Structures are given as structure tokens and as C-alpha cells.
Amino acid sequence: WAIHAPYVRAINQLKKDRNAVVLAHNYMTPQIYHGIADVVGDSLQLAIRATEVEAQVIVQCGVHFMAETSKILNPAKTVLMPDMQAGCSLAESITADGIAQMRARYPGAPVVSYVNTTAEVKAASDICCTSANAAQIVAAMEGDTVIMTPDKWLAQNVARQVPQKRVVWWDGACIVHEQFTAQDLRDFRDWNPGLKIIAHPECPPEVVAEADFAGSTSGIQSWVEREMPRQVMLVTECSMASNISDSLPDVEFLGPCNMCPYMQKITLEKVLWSLHSMTGAVEVDPAVAEPARRAVQRMIDLSQ
């Protein structure tokens, strides 16, 4: 922490000077999560909080689609992205043309797109979802068939939770969560009797089936805080365990460490530079932003 302290102090001072707030995803490094964030949360919580920001500047500590979502929901604000290269394998796996292909293949079926998509893809979709509300959103759609893009594993996990719908999916995956295998989870259980295993629904279904609980990053945090297991393995990006373990000294966190290379692009140095220079503002074409906002807002309305 000593080497980070000058950055943390400088950023917290600049936030006041620039009338800025930092929205940080649960996968940010502990120095961002604990040192400079004003709001932390999962994708759904960050989207909702973006609508409530009164400060003039939002610094999005997360990946690019999250900054776009904040800009779409609160267009009068300056939304700064400390590194424009902080993408997402899911967001990169589909374009608006892919949505059109799915609509042509399944005529009349509603398109539910994960928030891990570009503004263009959101604009071409009927509604968005996050890992916190995907089953609820799919269940609320009209008709028998629902198209889910772009995460095939989230879609297959939702299909199990919502058997009354025929869920069809795009072939995208998260490069962090697809690395976990069901055998990894069984091995950790064998080595640590009594271990609780919590998975993110971006993991393949056979991995989720081995877990005691699956949920969004904030759902995972709430589960651990409520159940207080002696030993737990979080089958998700490993900054998550680092961020919540400080306040849970009686819980031992075990497991492999898979880091998201996109999330890790956001560093204190880059946050400091973006606030100092006021560079890296995210813009969304209003013709795209309006239909994208409708898809995100519809999701927020349905999940409240």
C-alpha cells in the first residue's frame, strides 16, 4: 500500500477538483476498489448508480462497455475511461450484424443481450440483461423462444433455470470464466472437505453444476457475507476474493487465480492521468445511444 498511497491521495484530491466520482467494478484491483472508488458493484449496480450520479465527471474503473453504459444512461456527464483498450472478449464476439443474423434465424424471437456488449449491439437488441437478472429477464419475455447474446454459457445456465423457454444463443464466451473446469472444482473439494464453491454464471454449465451457488459478482459477495463459510472458492476473476477478503478475516479463500487482462488494464496511474488531463472521454452516437438506452432501461425497470 505504501507505494500506492501517493496515487490514491492525488486521485482523491483530483476527484474534488474535477467534481468527479469513481464507479468501480468488483474486479478492480484492491488499491482501486478500496483506495479511490466512490461506488463499487456488479454490472447491474453500476448501471443503476450511473443514472444517479450528480457529479459532472464519472471515471469508469471497469471495461469499455461499462463506460458506454454509463454514458448512455447519463449522457450529460463526462465519462472517462482510463484505458480505451480495456475491452471484453464477450463484447468483441458480436456486432449488430450478428444480432440481425439471429433475428433472421429465429423470426419473431426477442433478443436479450448481455450488458457485456457494445452500444451498437444493445441498440439492435430488445432488452439487456446482466448476470444478476438474466433468468428473470428471459422468463419475462413473450413467446416460446428467446435469443440470448453473446454469452453461450450464461445462456445455457439460464436455459436450465427457465425451462419453460427455448433459449438459443450466440457462440461467445468470457476468456476468464471458460478456463475453469468441473474437474478443477471436484479436485478442490477432494483436497478441502467442507469447502464451499461459488461460481459466476459465465462459467460453463458443468462447472456451475459443481458449485454450491452461482450468481453475479455482487451476488457472490452477498452469499459469502451471509453464509460465512470456513473455506470458500470463488470461481470467478480473482481480484474479487482479494477485494472482499479484508472484511472477512474468518473466511479462507482458496482456488486458482484467473485474472481478466482487460480489467487489469485499469491502474491507479492511468486513472490519475485521465483525471489530470481529462482525456479518454467516451462518446456514443446519439442515434445509437437512444435505442441502446431503451434496451438498458427496460432491463432496469424489469429488475426493480
> Which residues here bind ligand SF4, judged by CB under 6 A?
63, 88-90, 116, 174-176, 202, 237, 260, 262-263
Work out which of 7, 8, 31, 43 binds ligand 13P, going by CB under 6 A: 43
Q: Which is nearer to ligand 13P, 174 or 289 (CB)?
A: 174
- Which residues within the stretch 186-215 sit at the binding site for ligand 13P (CB under 6 A)? 202
Q: Counting contacts by CB under 6 A, is residue 42 touching ligand 13P?
A: yes
Contact (Cβ atoms closer than 8 angstroms) between residue 267 and residue 239: no
* Least CB distance to ligand SF4 at residue 250 (A): 28
Candidates 154, 152, 190, 184; CA nearest to 171 is 152
* Least CB distance to ligand 13P at residue 189 (A): 23
If you search the block for the grid coordinates 478475516, which residue do you land on?
A: 249
Give Cβ neighbours of residue 96 (< 8 Å, ≥ 6 apart): 120, 121, 123, 124
Q: Taking the CB of residue 101, how many other CB atoms lie within 10 A of it?
A: 13
Task: Residue 162: name its binding partner from ligand SF4, ligand 13P, none (Cβ under 5 to 8 Å by kind).
Answer: none
Q: Which is nearer to ligand 13P, 192 or 297 (CB)?
A: 297
Q: Which is nearer to ligand SF4, 55 or 175 (CB)?
A: 175
Work out which of 60, 69, 93, 116 binds ligand 13P, going by CB under 6 A: 116
* Least CB distance to ligand SF4 at residue 180 (A): 12
Range in contact with ligand 13P (rule: CB under 6 A) among 37-45, 143-151, 183-191, 283-291: 37-45
Work out which of 69, 89, 133, 217 binds ligand 13P, going by CB under 6 A: 217
Cα–Cα distance for residue pair 152/149, rounded to 1 Å: 7
Q: Which is nearer to ligand 13P, 126 or 178 (CB)?
A: 178
* Least CB distance to ligand SF4 at residue 221 (A): 16
Q: Counting contacts by CB under 6 A, is residue 70 touching ligand 13P?
A: no
x/- letters, 149..178, toward ligand 13P (CB under 6 A): -------------------------x----
* Least CB distance to ligand 13P at residue 25 (A): 6
Q: Which is nearer to ligand 13P, 74 or 131 (CB)?
A: 131
Chain positions contacting ligand 13P, by CB under 6 A = 26, 42-44, 63, 88, 116, 130-132, 174, 202, 216-217
